[in-house]
Chains A and B, each alone.
Chain A
Amino acid sequence: MDEYLSFVMVGHIDHGKSTLIGRLLYDTNSLPEGKTEEIKKTCEMLGKKFEFAYVMDHLDEEREKGITIETSQIFFKNGNKNYVIIDAPGHKEFIKNMLTGASQADAAVIIVDADEGVMEQTTRHAYLVNMLGIKQIIVVLNKMDKIDYSQEKFENLKNNLHELLLKFQIKPTYVIPISAIEGENIIKKSKKMDWYSGLSVIEALDTFKKMVEIEKMPLRMPIQDVYDIGEKIYVGKIESGTIKKGMEVVILPSEETAKIKSLELYGSDIIEANVGRSIGITFTEDVNIKRGAVICEQNGKPEVSNRITANIFWMGEKPLDKEERIIYKSTTQEINGTVEKIKNKINSSSLEVLEEESKKLEGLEAAEIIIKLEKPAVFDDFNHIPPTGRFVIIKDGIVQGGGIITSRGEAA
């Protein structure tokens, strides 16, 4: 089976996102057949060079008509590796769509116009991509052709960007100077930028991996539901680690211990299941488990606390107020809580700290908050185990904020 890697492509409007997507498809021979073939033939018959610009015209046209590329998921292949591009809209109004797309990605490509420099959406996207837990990040500085492929300008821009992002511990894996329109540093290394010794975009993508680290992490299996079909089957998805038949586990937050009698996957006999698998389990003894309990292993248990500290991003139309009652939802745990503190509020586009202590958080602002919960939650530090270290905030019945847990909440 071929490997698939999904990445989200984000960038300020007009920084060349669609050109880069077109270029990746064109240069890896992954363009949908049919009409582009026709265009190519027409050029040949008229003795004209088939230029990339014609392909872009065509892709733009198809997108206007809502045909191919709009399908927010674009597939292409390079060698043995299959890629899924999740095309995320650049406008501010589409931030919810951007987050929805990006939260499914293994990696991110952030595109910046080298001529215009870092723009409002660039920093916001970098911040959000990082908040979503995407660690494999490529920043491409596009339109190098417009600044004469200048190394000096590239280095300056790169340093500025690093400085800006480092404040939030965001470290892009690669920063690559490219020209999407001219095809420089996309597949092969650019001859026009021989001063650059790093990887091309596709080479950089090829180094990225899928969810590997989580597999080696300790077990976390939040219970989704309990089915009583002759015997009680506890179902859920493995968020990290591996579960095995015969394994001794601890159930949190109750601290009950139990032994796995069997793994249940309809139609298959399995004795082991890995991260990402939706599975059912049975126990050798009676246990008292409901939705929201988390099956863990003795070594490397998660935190259990009724107070958490987290970085959150707010996207509600109405602000989030201090002391406001909200619902905290992480994996299958849903707990009522109150916002106890809003600290270090920042503007997500400038990454500027607006206030050290705030009374409310407006749309598109981010902050560090402390939430007090009515019951203890089971969680991890996001940087340790991302799936159990992230949550959403539900207000008025809908998801309005997303957050990552940085530590157990200190007493307020």
Chain B
Amino acid sequence: MIVIVGIDGLEYDYVKEFNLPNLMQRNHGTTDLSEFEEPRTMVIWSSFMAGKNLEKEILSRKNLWEFRLKPEETFFSKFNKHIAIDVPGYTQDMEQHNKERQAMKDYFVDKKISVEEYDELVLRHHEKIKDRFFESLEKDYDIVMGYFGAADVIGHLSFGIKSKMKIIYKEMDEIVRKTSEKADKMIVISDHGMKAVGRFGDHSDHGFWSVNFDIKLEKPKPTEFYKILADLQ
């Protein structure tokens, strides 16, 4: 089984600083996002799956969050049995994503909710996704991709509080550790990293990647993984 753990906003520098061995796997590094005008979540995940830069196409839409690829447009079509859980640009849970963005507004613009309430909304969804993800690993898929948004969504309000982010990062490290027991080949990838603005977090200009197999990669673009996955098949 091939498993992809997609972690939104996972920052290379924090993974190194917190020294998280499972996230780092056998080979790891940063991704090159220079082809994108801005490191936008929807754009990068969609481009990653499609194997080509979809920035223009997605930005031309009225609501970029509603963009959805068809299976045949993605590397999943190269596999027999496949599942993608909550991945933006493909199988995202629209309701949850809308709620999270509303919460962000409620916090920043209307100052209606606290950080704790915001975090709770995010982490409750995280637990649900985690369950679905581990259930999928028990079945006979050829490829499974799980998408975890907590590091990014929580990071926007708290990336500057390192001690708190460390707990979230350790949680992700633990998920990858458990996954490695089931996966033959595994890729951990983020769309972009983050950088602190006071207590808050902005997107950084590089993503994170790691794999549990031998491969020579310098600073790959997210779109390069399409071919790597196709070759693994």
B228 CB within 8 Å of chain A = no
A81 CB within 8 Å of chain B = no
**In the assembled complex, which residues on chain B have CB atoms less than 8 Å from the CB atom of A46?**
123, 126-127, 167-168, 171
* Cα–Cα, bound, A231→B123 (Å): 74
Q: Are the C-beta atoms of A35 and B164 separated by less than 8 Å?
A: yes
Q: Are the C-beta atoms of A38 and B167 separated by less than 8 Å?
A: no
Q: Are the C-beta atoms of A43 and B167 separated by less than 8 Å?
A: yes
Q: Are the C-beta atoms of B161 and A41 separated by less than 8 Å?
A: no
* CB closest residue in chain A, given B164: A39
**In the assembled complex, which residues on chain B have CB atoms less than 8 Å from the CB atom of A45?**
119-120, 123-124, 127
B97 CB within 8 Å of chain A = no
**In the assembled complex, which residues on chain B have CB atoms less than 8 Å from the CB atom of A57?**
162-163, 166
B115 CB within 8 Å of chain A = yes
A167 CB within 8 Å of chain B = no
Q: Are the C-beta atoms of B163 and A41 separated by less than 8 Å?
A: no
B158 CB within 8 Å of chain A = yes
**In the assembled complex, which residues on chain A have CB atoms less than 8 Å from the CB atom of B164?**
35, 38-39, 42, 58
1/0 contact string of B103-125 vs chain A (CB within 8 Å): 00000000000011001100110
Q: Are the C-beta atoms of B166 and A41 separated by less than 8 Å?
A: no
* Cα–Cα, bound, A46→B163 (Å): 15
Q: Are the C-beta atoms of B162 and A38 separated by less than 8 Å?
A: no
**In the assembled complex, which residues on chain B have CB atoms less than 8 Å from the CB atom of A355?**
none
Partner of B162, one of A37, A43, A61: A61
* CB closest residue in chain B, given A59: B163
* Cα–Cα, bound, A43→B166 (Å): 11
* CB closest residue in chain A, given B168: A42
Count the A residues whose beta carbon is within 8 Å of the partner chain — how many? 14
Q: Are the C-beta atoms of A38 and B120 separated by less than 8 Å?
A: no
* Cα–Cα, bound, A39→B123 (Å): 13
A191 CB within 8 Å of chain B = no
* Cα–Cα, bound, A57→B166 (Å): 9
State the Cβ distance, B223 to closest chain A Cβ, in Å: 33
* CB closest residue in chain A, given B166: A57
**In the assembled complex, which residues on chain A have CB atoms less than 8 Å from the CB atom of B158?**
38
**In the assembled complex, which residues on chain B have CB atoms less than 8 Å from the CB atom of A43?**
167
* Cα–Cα, bound, A43→B170 (Å): 11
* Cα–Cα, bound, A41→B114 (Å): 12
Q: A38-B116, A41-B120, A45-B124 are in contact. Are A58 and B163 (CB under 8 A)?
A: yes
* Cα–Cα, bound, A42→B124 (Å): 11
Q: Are the C-beta atoms of B116 and A37 separated by less than 8 Å?
A: yes
State the Cβ distance, B133 to closest chain A Cβ, in Å: 15
Q: A48-B167, A54-B167 are in contact. Are A42 and B119 (CB under 8 A)?
A: yes
**In the assembled complex, which residues on chain B have CB atoms less than 8 Å from the CB atom of A54?**
163, 166-167
Q: Are the C-beta atoms of B124 and A35 separated by less than 8 Å?
A: no
State the Cβ distance, B164 to closest chain A Cβ, in Å: 5
**In the assembled complex, which residues on chain A have CB atoms less than 8 Å from the CB atom of B127?**
45-46
- 30 A-B pairs with C-beta separation under 8 A: A35-B161, A35-B163, A35-B164, A37-B116, A38-B115, A38-B116, A38-B158, A38-B161, A39-B161, A39-B164, A39-B167, A41-B116, A41-B119, A41-B120, A42-B119, A42-B123, A42-B154, A42-B167, A42-B168, A45-B120, A45-B127, A46-B126, A46-B127, A46-B167, A46-B171, A48-B171, A54-B163, A57-B166, A61-B161, A61-B162
The 3 closest A-B pairs by CB, nearest first: A58-B163, A57-B163, A45-B123
Q: Knowing that A42-B167, A45-B127, A54-B167 touch, tell me 6 more A-B residue pairs with CB under 8 angstroms.
A: A39-B163, A39-B164, A42-B154, A46-B127, A54-B163, A58-B163
